[in-house]
Amino acid sequence: MPISKEPATRTLAIRIPRPLEQLSKDELERKQHIGKVTTRTLRTLTEKFASRGFEWTLPVIFAKSTDPLWPDPGASIETRIETEIYGETVRTTLSMIIHKIVACSLLHPKFFTLSPNVRIEKRERRATGWHAYEFTQLDFEARNTESKDIRRIVEDILRGLLEDLKKNSREELTYFNRYKSLDAPSSPFKVYDREDLEAKYGKQWETQLPSAIKEPTWVTNIPREFYDYEDFDTRKWDNYDLFLPRYGEVLSGARREYEHGKITAKMERDGVKKENYELLLTLAKEGRVKPSAGAGIGVERLVSWIVGAEHIGEVQLFPKIPGVVYEL
């Protein structure tokens, strides 16, 4: 199996996963156990969101409007996929945040979806072990909800997930040597302000924090795209990312902007093309965009942490690794 010599987040050299047809019998057995953990994880997560009154909707693949992933300093996109459908330019979904804001405002006060995301990450991210150019998020949004409420929901659901896995997936967790070490974290989770982390670790705090924590940990106040709520007086952002020990960010979310003036001002400041968000801006101007908050959980990243995978491609049936294109 080839070993990348590129810098990695968690180890000096991370093995790049091979496609199914090249795996040995033992490697296929490992893949089968990962599949069982993934099944149990998705079953539990979707049941828990549905039991809390979240409607389960189907995802969007192509749209004229999608997440700009700008000016988020954590974004690393090599190219954006665009094509023409019926004479209109559409893009693959980078995330469903714009769709979530609109759907939550006009139709579903609380909903979730399993959303495929296509982000052609830069090739150097191949060896982080944490990035894929195609992945799935469990995206959810709730109207008239505060950030602290979303964080409590996530904490309760994550604790419930780990308790369920310990009860119903003991064989698989034992196989990965994770049964004893994967305990449900205490709640509430610790919360760090990004400014405090920068003061301690510098601008590379995102790569330093995972090795410094022992339980899932929140980071708030992260400068990001126009749709995350920002207090113009304090310059504080009302958003939150969830970091896992050793692995890094697994969830990104925020309270959303909904006022037309603030949205347009931020677009102009950040150089975001307004013409790509005409519907959102029209709805906001008409007062039809409602306050909401939500997040997206990286399914493959979550499963990677649960099973202790070295590379996120291990938990994908057909690995989608930056810089590597297999036949399937």
* Degrees to nearest 5, angle at CA 140 with 298 and 320: 25
* pLDDT per position as a tens digit, 168-177: 999 999 999 9
User: What pLDDT is attached to residue 200?
Assistant: 97
DSSP reduced 3-state for 224: coil
CA–CA gap between residue 23 and residue 176 (Å, rounded): 18
User: What pLDDT is attached to residue 1?
Assistant: 30
CA–CA gap between residue 131 and residue 146 (Å, rounded): 29
* pLDDT per position as a tens digit, 14-24: 889 999 999 99
User: Which pair of structure tokens corresponds to residue 305?
Assistant: 């942490």
* pLDDT per position as a tens digit, 222-276: 999 999 999 999 999 999 999 999 999 999 999 999 999 999 999 999 999 999 9
For the chain, percent of residues with pLDDT exceeding 90: 91
If residue 301 lies in a helix (H) or strand (E), which one and from where to where?
helix 299-307
Helix/strand/coil percent split, the chain, to 5? 40, 20, 40
If residue 139 lies in a helix (H) or strand (E), which one and from where to where?
strand 134-143
Cis geometry, peptide bond prior to residue 116 (ω within 30 degrees of 0): no
Q: What is the CATH number of domain 20-315?
A: 3.30.930.10
Q: First CA to last CA across the chain, in angstroms?
A: 18
Q: Where are the beta strands (DSSP E) in the chain?
A: 55-56, 62-63, 77-79, 82-85, 88-92, 110-118, 120-121, 134-143, 191-193, 217-220, 230-231, 236-237, 239-244, 248-255, 292-298
CA–CA gap between residue 287 and residue 282 (Å, rounded): 9
* pLDDT per position as a tens digit, 279-303: 999 999 999 999 999 999 999 999 9
User: What pLDDT is attached to residue 9?
Assistant: 42
pLDDT band at residue 102, thresholds of 50, 70 and 90?
very high
